[in-house]
Amino acid sequence: MENKIKQSGNRQNELVHILHEVQERFGYIPPERLAEIAKKLNISESEIYGVLTFYKAFSLEPGGEHTVTVCMGTACHVRGGQQITDEMERKLDIKVGQTSADGKFTLETVNCLGCCAIGPVVTVDGKYYSHATMKNIASILKEY
Partner 1 sequence: MKITLDGKQIEVEEGQTVLDAARENDIYIPSLCDNPHLSPFSGCRLCLVEIKGQRGYAPSCSTIAREGMEVKSDSPKLRKIRIRILELILSEHPSACLICQEKENCDEYKSTIRKVGETTGCVLCPNNGRCDLQKVADALGVDSIRFPAIYRDIEVNKKDPFFDRNYNLCILCGRCVRVCHEIRGTSTITFVNRGSDAVIGTALDKTLQDAGCQFCGACVDVCPTGALTERSLKYEKIADETKETICPLCSMGCRLDVGKYEGRILSSQPSEDGKVNQGQACVKGRFLLKNTVYSGQRIKRPMIRRKKDLEPVSWDEALDFVAEKLKGFPGDKVGFIQSSQVSCEDMFVFEQFVRDVLKSDQIAAESENSVYGILKELADESGVILPMNHKIKEISQADTIFLSGADIVSSHPIVWLAVLKAVKTGAGLIIAAPFEFSLSRYATLDLRIKPGSEAMLLGYLAKQVLGREDLSEKETVKGLEDLKKSVEDLRIEDVLKLTGIPNEETLTHAEKLFRPDRSVVLLLGAGFAGKEKIKNTLAAGWNLARLTRGRLFLLGSGVNERGQFEIRKIYDKKIDLSEFIRKAAEGKIEALYMTGPITLAVKFDPAFLVVQDSYWSDMAKKAHAVFPASTFAEDECSFVNTEGRVQRSGSIIPHYEESKPDWWIISRLAQKMGARSFSFKKSSDIFNRIEKEIPAFTGITNVSFTKEEDLFIKEEQGDKIGFLPAVYDRTVSSGEKRYPFLLVQDGGYDSYRNLDLTKENKGFAKIRETGIILLNPEDAVVLELKNGESVKINSESGESHAVVKISEAVPAGIVKTHFLRRLSPDSIFVSMLAVLPVNIKRGE
Nearer to partner 1, 13 or 44 (CB): 44
116 contributes a contact to ligand FES by CB under 6 A: yes
Q: Is the CA virtual torsion 112, 125, 83, 129 positive or negative? A: positive
Among 38, 51, 60, 112, the residue binding ligand FES under the rule CB under 6 A is 112
73 contributes a contact to ligand FES by CB under 6 A: yes
Q: Which does 50 bind (CB under 5 to 8 A by kind): partner 1, ligand FES, none?
A: partner 1
Q: Which does 96 bind (CB under 5 to 8 A by kind): partner 1, ligand FES, none?
A: none
**Cβ proximity of 93 and 101 under 8 Å:** yes
Shortest distance in whole angstroms from residue 83 CB to ligand FES: 14
Closest CA to 67 of 109, 25, 31: 109
DSSP calls for 15-61: HHHHHHHHHHHHSS--GGGHHHHHHHHTS-HHHHHHHHHHSTT--SS
Classify 117 as helix, strand or coil.
helix
The DSSP call for residue 73 is: S
Shortest distance in whole angstroms from residue 131 CB to ligand FES: 11
Shortest distance in whole angstroms from residue 134 CB to ligand FES: 17
76 contributes a contact to ligand FES by CB under 6 A: yes
**Cβ proximity of 120 and 131 under 8 Å:** yes
Q: Which residues bind ligand FES (CB under 6 A)?
A: 71, 73-76, 112-116, 119, 121
